[in-house]
Amino acid sequence: MGRRGVSLLEVLIALIILTVGTFAISQAFSSGLLASADVENVDLALNIAQAKMEQIKNTSFASLVDISPTADANFPDFTVALNVAESQNPMRLDVTVAWNVKGGQANVTLTSLVTNY
Amino acid sequence: MQGKKGFTPLESPAIYGGDERCESLIPYRKGRVKAPFFLTGFTLIELSISVSMFIIIMLVAAYVFRSVLISWSSQETRTGLAIGLDRAVEEMSRDLRKARAVQAVNDEIRFRQGVSSYYIYYFYNPNDAYPLAFSQGLYQLKKEALSGGIDGNFTYGAGQPILNDVLAPVTSDLSMSGNLTTIDVSVRRHDETIRARTQVRPRNF
């Protein structure tokens, strides 16, 4: 083993490896936390969609029309949209709840049928 | 210590014992001594720098580790709360969906199932007497059978616990508007709060 020290190139390579490793680990933690938050949002969105569906069940068949995405009154970060298949009986309903996530939008959709009886 | 001859005390013949092998390895130049590799120690500066770097690295590692532990603990609390909250909201929704009569007054929901079975969902805290003033922070949500119809009586504190650590109204809300029953429940534990809200239209009115 010689008596020479560590060269600048060796130090740089070591630093790059250390930085890449640290960045990867921090990204893994960050992704884990974001995934947990997403699960909570899916739960919340399903409840909002379910509530909307119950409101629809409480509405007369004739008054059901499409609703463009609108911020929810209780959870403004979520938008609720209704798509109805007009002139069908039973009529298909799609309630879509969407919210912003890192890099785009996520959504859940509940589908049901209502009958004019 | 021989300042003139020795770079470190280890280079002193008094310490290495005047070994000829060592003597032959030590080149003298301009009155200074260059130490053979196997005899050198750390200088004070080298030691100070390495100890400082070690302390900094340890502090950074401890900070990162602490942050991860706090996040993990917080997420564990939230997950536990969410599981209980989902289950409670689902159970209440199912009960109310198949109810034949529902009445919601003062954040308690009374309902009838079948022909003559009556139940109540109510907030309970041993430090808040019935009828509730909602003077406490957290309550338990309970389900109990009613005797004497939908306006009948029940034993306050008795019944099946549905959900713990529920924030008092008006943060939480059990109410009815028209045929729609609102279940809006927030739970809190260790500074973590989760809210679930849904509405139910009973199908069998």
Write out pLDDT tens, residues B28-69.
455 555 555 555 677 888 889 989 999 998 999 899 889 888
pLDDT value of position B2: 44
The neighbouring-strand residues paired with B117 are: B113
Query: For residue A47, what are the CA distances in angstroms to B34, B116, B197?
Result: 78, 30, 6
Judged by phi (left if over 0) then psi (alpha if -120 to 50, else beta), residue A100 lies in beta
The answer to whether residue B10 sits within a structural domain is: no
Residue B138: phi, psi to the nearest 5?
-120, 145
- Residue B132's φ and ψ, nearest 5 degrees, are -75, 140
For B73-128, the pLDDT digits (tens) are: 888 889 899 999 999 999 999 999 999 999 999 999 999 998 889 999 999 999 99
Q: Using CA atoms, how far apart are residues B188 and B168, in angstroms rounded to an integer? A: 10
Residue B190 located in a structural domain: yes
Say yes or no: B92 contacts chain A, CB-CB below 8 A: no
DSSP B36: P
A85: closest CA of chain B, how far (Å): 22
pLDDT one-digit tens code per residue, B136-173? 999 999 999 999 999 999 999 999 999 999 999 999 99
B37 neighbors B5 (Cβ within 8 angstroms): no
ipTM of the complex: 0.72
Contact (CB<8Å) A54/B184: no
B27 within some domain: no
* Structure tokens, A74: 């209780």
Taking contacts as CB-CB distances below 8 angstroms, the residues of chain A near B99 are: none
Mean pLDDT to the nearest integer, A60-77:
92
Instruction: From chain A, pick out residues whose CB is under 8 angstroms from the CB of B37.
Output: 3
Number of domains comprising chain B:
1
Query: CA A57, B87, A98, A114: dihedral to nearest 10 degrees?
Result: -20
Alpha-carbon distance of B152 to B195, in angstroms, equals 30
pLDDT band, very low/low/confident/very high, at B3 (cuts 50, 70, 90): very low
3-state DSSP percent of chain A in helix, strand and coil, to 5: 45, 30, 25
Q: Is residue B66 part of a domain?
A: no
Two structure tokens written together for A113 = 């049928």
Domain ranges of chain A: 8-114
The whole domain housing B90 covers 71-200
pLDDT of residue B34: 56
Chain A residue closest in CA terms to B64: A26
